[in-house]
Structure 1
Amino acid sequence: MSRAFVKEGDGALDPLPDLPLSPHPNYVTPRGLAALQARLRDLQTTLASLKARAERLDKLPEAAAERDIRYVEARLRSAILIDPAELPLDEVAFGLAVLVEDADGVQSRYEITGEDEADAARGRIAPQSPLARALIGAEVGDSVTWRRPAGAVTLEIIEISHADQ
């Protein structure tokens, strides 16, 4: 191969491209904000230990940690804190928990949280999700339609409460 096509350099990596940021407002609960702050501290500790290694030929882990730090810092800068404890329980809103029942009588509990805190296995859903969009603004006794790829489901709002923090 011709030397014209070989990139010569100082051995340093170019910075990894930044992770994409959500175009939606970055609403966070106090728990979500604390988790982001803890994640930033953990990443900074990881980066410091990577830079303290005696053998640093592989700089990719450092570049990945730096990229992740930039992402979390951007999420923290754009965070809009909403304290659910201050919200009334008259309608479903960000930060609140809602108990719903489907047509078969099966009850499920969901909490509308920030994107970084969302975890379907724990019933924590992002406000942009189809389920959250169907629930937000509903009151106890209302029926809402959750449009899913597998078909629409009607859910009755049973209870609105403050989430366990």
Structure 2
Amino acid sequence: MNKAFVRESDGDDDEEGLSPSLKLPAGTRNYISPAGHQRQKDELEHLVKRERPHVVEVVAWAASNGDRSENGDYIYGKRRLREIDRRIRFLTKRLENAEVVDPLRQGDNDQIFFGARVTVADADGVENTYTIVGVDEMDVAKGRISWISPLARALIKAREGDSVRFQSPLGVRELDIIEVVYETIT
């Protein structure tokens, strides 16, 4: 069948291709740090003011060259435009639902909430440090876990000195909370 008659996905459900760890639970706010919120706003502005207009120029130029069926600049430009538009819709929705939470407002609190940097120790005494961040800021390599992850849900509302149990992929684990610190997330 000719590609001209095959309809590609419009991407109406912008979260359709996301991994489950990046999807927000239905009806919840998109909690995010001030730095994460600013990064999303900057990316949206870059896409709208720079990237998209540039790609539109390329597509317009390619369309003016004639036969579009074998015009790579036109075909790939249109595909890139769909990707940009999908990302713009996604970022717009995320920013509309964003609730910026500044961890510094917690002050000298030993109870765990969004934005806390928590040091925990397992039964073997191995210590790890995690920062509870928004879904879009998650980075396991940097010790940043999403507030909707099983570990973060177990930690939230616990205090320094408490022990928490949670279901990990390796089974039920128990961790002792050693330290809770609130600082600027970059």
Contact 1:18 1:67 in 2 (8 A): no
AA aligned opposite 1:19: D
Shift of 1:90: 2.1
TM-score when normalising by structure 2: 0.77
Write out aligned runs for 1:148-159 (5 A). 148-159=168-179
Contact 1:13 1:63 in 2 (8 A): no
1:80 aligned partner = 99
Instruction: Name the SS for the 1:152 alignment partner.
Output: strand
2:35 aligned partner = 31
Correspondence 1:62 to 2:81: yes
1:116 aligned partner = 136
Q: Please, which runs of 5 or more residues in structure 2 have no aligned partner?
A: 16-22, 63-72
Name the CA shift for 1:151/1:16 in 2 (closer, same or farther; >3 Å): closer
AA aligned opposite 1:149: P
Shift of 1:158: 0.6
Residue among 16, 27, 32 paired with 2:11: 16
The whole-number CA distance in structure 1 between the counterparts of 2:131 and 2:138 is 9
Contact 1:40 1:69 in 2 (8 A): yes
Residues 91-100 or 46-55, more deviating: 46-55
Moved over 3 A (4+): 12-16
More helix by share: 2
The whole-number CA distance in structure 1 between the counterparts of 2:57 and 2:5 is 28
Contact 2:116 2:181 in 1 (8 A): yes
Name the CA shift for 1:99/1:14 in 2 (closer, same or farther; >3 Å): closer
Tell me the percent identity.
35
Q: Please, which runs of 5 or more residues in structure 1 have no aligned partner?
A: none
Instruction: Name the SS for the 2:178 alignment partner.
Output: strand
Contact 1:110 1:123 in 2 (8 A): yes
The whole-number CA distance in structure 1 between the counterparts of 2:139 and 2:46 is 20
TM-score when normalising by structure 1: 0.86
**Number of corresponding residues:** 158
